[in-house]
Amino acid sequence: MSRKRNNLLVAAVFIMIFIFIIVVGYADEFSKEDLERWQKEYMSVVETGRELWVSADLGTNGVSCAQCHPNAANTHPETYPKFQQQLGRVVALRDMINWCLQNPLEGEPLALDDPRLVAIEAYVTYERRGVPLEPGKH
């Protein structure tokens, strides 16, 4: 091999190692502070969900989710998506939340991208943490 080519090869290897260090060293590391902050952000939404859960204002008749589902019990979020008999088709958890808003709470459904719907889902799944997924289970 010519000397020039040899030098180029060595340079290329060094550059690659350099790039590798940069990428590995900076891209995939979360700091402890980041993780704690993100967890707080998440819990704030869970708490909003809890407030909505006990609120008498989601529907029009003053009934709250917590009246029938204390601590979001018996909502079994780990079984969604599943065939929901009341809707005649396979749906996700938020579709059932909207069904409850319209029926026992006699209110209006929330838009599927409404942050309140996310908050309610966050609360419901938080109270059910640790339970293995069983999608489709009736």
Partner 1 sequence: MKKFVFWLILIVCFFGLLGLMASDKPDKAAPLGLPSVSYPENNPQTPEKIALGDKLFNDKRFSDTGQVSCATCHDPAKAFTDSPLKVSEGIQGLTGTRNAPTVINSVYFESMFWDGRSPDLEDQALHPFVNPVEMGLKDHQPILDIVRSDPEYTEAFKTVFGKSGENITMTEVTQAIAAFERTKISGNSPFDRWYYGGETEALTPAQIRGFDLFINEGRCVSCHLIEQTQALFTDNRFHNVGVGINMIQNDIPELASEYIAAKLSAEEVDVKVLSDKRSSELGRFALTTGFDDLGSFKTPTLRNIAATAPYMHDGSVATLRDVVVHYNNGGVTNEGDPVNDFLSGGIRPLNLSDEQIDDLVAFMEALTSPEFADAVKTSEQK
Partner 2 sequence: MTNRNISRRTFMKRMGALTAASSLPLSLVELSFADSHKNFMFAYISDAHIQHITGTKFVRNWDRGLIRAVAETNLLQPKPDFIVFGGDLAQLGTRPELDHGAELLSKLNYKTYCVMGEHDYYLDLGEYWSKLFGPQYYSWDHKGVHFIVLNSILTYDEWTHERWPTAEQRMLEMAGLDNPNGSPFMVGEEQRKWLAKDLEKVDKKTPIVLFSHSPIQKIYKGWNFWTEDAEEVQALLKPFNDATVVYGHVHQIQYNQIENISFHAVMATAWPWPYPQSYAQAESNLPKLTVPMNRADPFFERDATGWQFINLKTGRVTMDYNLYNNTNRTVAYNPKTGQPEDVDFQAADKIIPPQIHF
Between 23 and 111, CB nearer to partner 1: 111
The residues that bridge with 59 in the sheet, in sequence order, are: none
What residues numbered 94-113 form the site for partner 2, per CB under 8 A? Answer: 99-100, 103-104
Between 45 and 101, CB nearer to partner 1: 101
Residues 6 or more apart whose Cβ sits within 8 Å of residue 125: 77, 93
What residues numbered 26-85 form the site for partner 2, per CB under 8 A? Answer: 54, 61-63, 66-71, 73-74, 76, 85
Check whether the bond before 132 is cis (ω within 30° of 0): no
Give pairs for 90-98: CB < 8 Å, separation 24+: 93/121, 93/124, 93/125, 94/121, 97/121, 97/124
CB of 78: closest distance to partner 2 in angstroms? Answer: 9
Between 82 and 116, CB nearer to partner 1: 82
Residue 57 to residues 31, 48, 94, 96: CA-CA distances in angstroms?
A: 40, 14, 18, 18
Between 5 and 129, CB nearer to partner 2: 129
Q: Which residues make up the interface to partner 2 (CB under 8 A)?
A: 54, 61-63, 66-71, 73-74, 76, 85-86, 99-100, 103-104, 127-131, 138
